[in-house]
A and B are shown apart, each in its own frame.
Chain A
């Protein structure tokens, strides 16, 4: 459809930067800070928009790997809804995200239930190890915000989204 979302976000950024920013009272530091953050935030959304579906699939795949790792450590977690969402070509980001959130709640509960049992350490290690792909993805996704001390040390975002992109129906 014309105009597309990328174009619309682009013109918003341009308007805020070129027209609105110079018109803001330079003594209003709160307004200036929020304007610049608004421009940066819209820029992040613009960058992420074409990757939204791959992001949702990859995050669900990461959560599924986590759930299976915890299951292998002795605490089985229901994964069928997540697998069904991944197998459904019509599953949109909302469905994928809902499936992920529900499964993460179950995994978090499994960690709590394992406390004080002989499985506790194995479950903890499984969570730590299986959380790395999701931690890396979240960091690479947020890297343009500038909080990374060594952003170049992160794996490329495209690599971290590879399975989510490749598996998209």
Chain B
């Protein structure tokens, strides 16, 4: 069957832009995605090309007195292409010569989630001093210097899962930290979430690529719903009426926002690094899905069934492989001073499953079909989690409609 999504024309693009109102920066990246779809399959980018692009970006910021060395590929993650390298330079302070280990995080022609490097850069900078994050140096939001949009930040030390218990899954899903490390990381995990969610609103001015939703209103969540419903319209390989049912229910039942928080959007095991020596979290990563919105989005996400596992007793389910959900909520309330509302949790569980269905059953299949990433086989593999999530979405909707 011919599908306009295979080669979207300007009529189709104008129709989805008109139908689904989203934040301006989100509209920019989604529109660019559609216009690039026909032009760009993925062709392997040599390391030298990436190193030259990184050098061009750095040169545009600090002139010529630096050297890029030791470029090498980094694995991990399901969406972005990552290169580690060393930078010989005098630092942002113009001080003594030094070598800094850095990471270039660049988009492939299309990703399992199409997001904004400008937003990720701004959010990483906002989080400096709030939670451990890599120092973020430079961003190429439009691909002016790099083959595609990307950013450069410091290489963070640490591991995502225990070297003695390597995850059997991709992207850190199902990480088992073991009974000794688990309680040590659990406290830091909850404290980090509380810290992220309580950044003062006065600092949101540091996020020019984000719209700040109104407290007491539903404008923020409606824009988020439109974001993912638009992506469903743009990317889905086949219709799935259950997704439309979920979207309609979410629109009709959107709760007014009681407190505006930075929301990570993928807050779970697998997206933080920790030191195996000190057992301290050293970096929170993957801020590409961050929004200003409702904390319950992260709370529902991190306690979702697909990111946890049972403890050694075979009965206690551990959210994100760390602690039982009820204990997480109680500790979060104590750490943040914010309430955990069960109705909102349920709402955002539906929202998260709806958005994940879009990521996995629409975009992942679409970009792999078009051969647009550096790891299509991983993207197509991870798409199968969409079947688990759509089943969970159906079960939840059956309880509430």
Contact = CB atoms under 8 A, between A and B. Distances in A.
B387 A124 contact: no
Interface string A114-142: 01000011001101110110011011011
A13 interface: no
A34 B377 contact: yes
A74 to B, nearest CB: 15
B154 interface: no
B169 interface: yes
B183 to A, nearest CB: 22
B348 to A, nearest CB: 19
Nearest to B3: A101
Nearest to A28: B73
18 contacts: A30-B74, A30-B75, A32-B75, A33-B75, A34-B375, A34-B378, A37-B170, A37-B377, A104-B241, A124-B245, A124-B248, A127-B242, A128-B401, A131-B242, A135-B387, A145-B384, A147-B384, A149-B305
Contact of B173 (A32, A142, A147): A147
B308 to A, nearest CB: 7
B391 A138 contact: yes
B306 A147 contact: yes
Nearest to A40: B381
Given A33-B75, A33-B378, A120-B248, A107 B387 contact: no
Interface string B234-264: 0000111111110011000000000000000
A29 B384 contact: no
Interface in B68-82: 73-76
B397 interface: yes
B394 interface: yes
B380 A41 contact: yes
A33 B384 CA distance: 17
Contacts of B243: 108
Nearest to B73: A30
B384 A128 contact: no
Interface size class of B (residues with CB under 8 A): 35 or more
B249 A149 contact: no
A65 interface: no
Interface of A: 28-30, 32-34, 37-38, 40-41, 66, 70, 98, 100-102, 104-105, 107-108, 110-112, 115, 120-121, 124-125, 127-129, 131-132, 135-136, 138-139, 141-142, 145-149
Given A38-B377, A147-B388, A101 B1 contact: yes
A140 to B, nearest CB: 9
A12 B280 CA distance: 43
A142 B249 contact: no
Contacts of A28: 73
A30 B374 contact: yes
A147 B348 CA distance: 21
A41 B381 contact: yes
A29 B391 contact: no
Interface in B168-202: 168-170, 173-174
A28 B170 CA distance: 16
Contact of A131 (B173, B249, B394): B394
A141 B391 CA distance: 13
Contacts of B170: 33, 37
Contact of A115 (B76, B248, B375, B380): B248
Interface string B365-401: 0000000001101101100110110110010011001
A142 B241 contact: no
